Copies of this chain bind each other. A is one copy, B any other.
Amino acid sequence: MQYPNNIKKNFTRLSISHSNRGMDLEHVLNLTNNYYLKNDRALIFKKPTPIGVVDVSYKNQHKTIEKAYFKEQSTLDYNGLYRGKYIEFDAKETLSKTSFPLSNIHEHQTVQIRNVIKHGGIVFLIIKMNGIVYLLTGEDYIAYIDNNKRKSISYKYIQEKAYVIKIGYQPQLDYLTLVDDIYFKGE
């Protein structure tokens, strides 16, 4: 289930060189979530990008959008149900080798991360940086921004706190195995 309009403003096409073609993070996550769905492991979907419709037309009762603009998501892009728990995350990619720019995460998304933690859900960021895909928990993300004035997360912090998601065949990006280790320890 992929939406052609889901290419983020701050998602840089340039980050997909010939060498890692097919590692488009969103595409790989969609394949992974479809795999989880087909194998009855989890129900996780990417939310459609919200749009503001300016103009529509009707032809024999068929409605077509003639003009619209993209809006910002009020939540993170992915959410769903895993092992009876609510799970929500976003996936971000940066070309920077030294730090993850916080401009990638909008203020209302940070509010949502705080809220999901408060209401007892699982929330994290999947960050692709230096060719490695990391899982940074919402708790570690909040701890960082609450204790730093900086406009970016240092790569050092990500290397220290985040978990590396193994890239495989099926599923291609098995982040739920990490979620088991991080959030379901001893269950």
Q: Which residues of A approach B to under 8 Å, CB–CB?
A: 1, 3-5, 37, 40, 42-43, 45, 47-53, 56, 63-71, 73-75, 79-86, 88, 112, 115-116, 118-121
Contacts and interface: CB of A to CB of B under 8 A. Distances in A.
Contacts of A5: 51, 53, 56, 65, 68
Contacts of A116: 43, 81
B50 A3 contact: yes
A121 to B, nearest CB: 5
22 contacts: A3-B51, A3-B52, A4-B53, A5-B51, A5-B53, A5-B56, A42-B119, A43-B75, A43-B115, A43-B116, A43-B119, A47-B48, A48-B50, A48-B71, A63-B69, A64-B69, A65-B65, A66-B66, A81-B119, A81-B120, A84-B86, A84-B119
Report copies per complex: 2
A74 to B, nearest CB: 6
Contacts of A42: 119
Contacts of A4: 52-53
Nearest to A41: B119
B120 A84 contact: yes
B45 A74 contact: yes
B65 A64 contact: no
A33 to B, nearest CB: 11
Contacts of A118: 40
A60 B17 CA distance: 26
Nearest to A9: B63
